Structure 1
Amino acid sequence: MLGRGTGPHVFVADLERPELDDRDRHHLAKALRLRPGDALTVSDGAGRWRAARFGAEVEVTGDVVDDPAPEPPVTIGLAPVKGQRPEWAVQKLTELGVDTIWLLVADRSVVRWEGARGAGHADRLARVAREAAMQSRRCRLPAIRVGVPVADALTSEGVALADPGGSVPTLARPVVLVGPEGGWSDAERAAAPARVALGPTVLRAETAAVAAGGLLVALRHGLVAEGPAPSSTHGG
């Protein structure tokens, strides 16, 4: 997150010679009503940013600042559902500061984003994440992968399934997978190295994903205290 800097925030390809693409320039000039000379910040999306001024050519006014990546990186995987709810989830997870977002293919997935269809969804979600990162003044764009099989995701270090009866979320398990509306299959539960619970109520998939992201990011930044270590790998 930006520790300083004023004005709107936008991403550019080159911090030494920042150029705005047509969509960003239109948004800044028409929607936000920036005028030549108004302050803004520009970022490369990989943790580096600098202060600048808006105009026909962007004028840099500050040194490049390297914002260190927070540790541990937080990954949320969710199985997509119908409609625009996956876009909403990606938007909110980006605002929260989640580092990696996976759109999963689970045994009971009804919506399956794979192949060419998955590539189209990936492009759209990348745009959603970019706009959310600009709004929330992030210096690092989240990595988004579409069509990730749950079996592959479960091989990641520090992974856990979001599932009732699981343990308290902890930074020892910073990769949390949220299943489809039909829930996890018996095989997926059996393959999971750990499970974490997200509360006493039944959450929709996109709500559970945002809840998991919010909890882990809050733990990472010390906003909430770490709970007791789980007594077993599966909790319960």
Structure 2
Amino acid sequence: MAAGVPGGTAPHVGVDDVEVPILAGDDRHHLERALRLRAGDRVSVTDGAGRWRWCRFGPELVPDGPVEADPPPSPPITVAFALVKGERPELVVQKLTEVGVDRIVPFFAERSVVRWDEAKAARHHERLVRIAREAAMQCRRTWWPEVVETTRFEVVAALPGAVAAERHGAAPSLEHPVVLIGPEGGWSDEERGRLPGLVGLGPTVLRAETAAIAAGVVLSALRSAVVRPVSPPDA
């Protein structure tokens, strides 16, 4: 079961406490300057952990409805992706948030071109968390994804329920709600020997960032019953 989404087209924004909702300065500036909200306009607020409510915008947010509590999405979906170059990690995090992925795990693979030292990894993690937050508000999620600090292949390969994306793998299934996406250069021989299982995302060769987004879309569609699992062929 997936969590609900506040209806309508009113802005949706994060707060620390939906009981006493207070806007952060950047969020208030965005609502006033970019979205041109005026006093009395409706806005939904969430703590990102399933609780949300309607408010009226103004110098202070005025609650305009009860606190609602959405159940957490089940099963939780994880996409772990080997780091890619440039701004593509940001694209991956944004789109995985939009489609409903619950846990996003960047990792270093043996053939990853990108290599961050500890300080750079911390800066990138902070930015990816911010991008996920912005995307969650835009797509009106009440349960926001966890963006994990960049880790190693050995860690993601050991995640319960994990499978790795590979051409000609089995059909995606919620029995394996954790999908690992390899680097542009492919899995190394050592990594291939440690892959927990294989899942296919279609007949074509996908770019790394496309594969990550495709995995999130398919798993989310299965969870929300937009598509149905593939039935096994008759014996």
| TM-score computed with the length of structure 2 as normaliser | 0.94
The correspondence for 2:183, drawn from 175, 180, 183, is: 180
**Pairing 1:163–2:127 present:** no
**Pairing 1:56–2:62 present:** no
Per-residue CA deviations over 1:84-138 (Å, capped at 9, x if unaligned) read: 1110111000000000000011111110245221110010001111110010000
Indicate the SS of the match to 2:215: helix
Aligned 8 A contact 2:111 2:185 in 1: yes
Moved over 2 A (4+): 3-6
Amino acid of the structure 2 residue aligned with 1:130:
R
Aligned 8 A contact 1:6 1:39 in 2: no
- Name the residue aligned to 2:76: 73
Indicate the SS of the match to 1:216: helix
Per-residue CA deviations over 1:46-101 (Å, capped at 9, x if unaligned) read: 11000001000000011111111111100001111111111011100000000000
How far apart are the structure 2 equivalents of 1:57 and 1:189? Answer: 55
- Name the residue aligned to 1:93: 96
Q: What percent identity do the matched residue pairs reach?
A: 54
Task: Give me the CA root mean square deviation.
Answer: 1.4
The correspondence for 1:138, drawn from 141, 147, 154, is: 141
Aligned 8 A contact 1:5 1:40 in 2: no
Amino acid of the structure 1 residue aligned with 2:122:
A
Aligned 8 A contact 2:162 2:179 in 1: yes
How far apart are the structure 2 equivalents of 1:36 and 1:223? Answer: 38
Amino acid of the structure 2 residue aligned with 1:35:
R
How far apart are the structure 1 equivalents of 2:182 and 2:88? Answer: 14
| TM-score computed with the length of structure 1 as normaliser | 0.94
219-228 vs 113-122, which deviates more? 113-122
Aligned 8 A contact 1:114 1:147 in 2: no
Aligned 8 A contact 1:6 1:41 in 2: no
Aligned 8 A contact 2:90 2:131 in 1: yes
Amino acid of the structure 1 residue aligned with 2:157:
L
- Name the residue aligned to 2:201: 198
In the alignment, structure 2 segments of 5+ residues that lack a partner are none
The correspondence for 1:32, drawn from 28, 32, 35, is: 35
Per-residue CA deviations over 1:4-57 (Å, capped at 9, x if unaligned) read: 465100000111111111110011011101000000000001110000010000
Aligned 8 A contact 1:161 1:178 in 2: yes
Q: Tell me how far 1:228 sits from its aligned partner.
A: 3.7
Indicate the SS of the match to 2:149: strand
Per-residue CA deviations over 1:173-221 (Å, capped at 9, x if unaligned) read: 1000101110011111211221111111111111000000000000001
- Name the residue aligned to 1:126: 129
How far apart are the structure 2 equivalents of 1:178 and 1:226? Answer: 21
Indicate the SS of the match to 1:34: coil
Task: Identify if the C-alpha distance between structure 1 residues 3 and 18 changes in structure 2 by more than 3 Å, giving closer, same or farther.
Answer: closer
- Name the residue aligned to 1:234: none
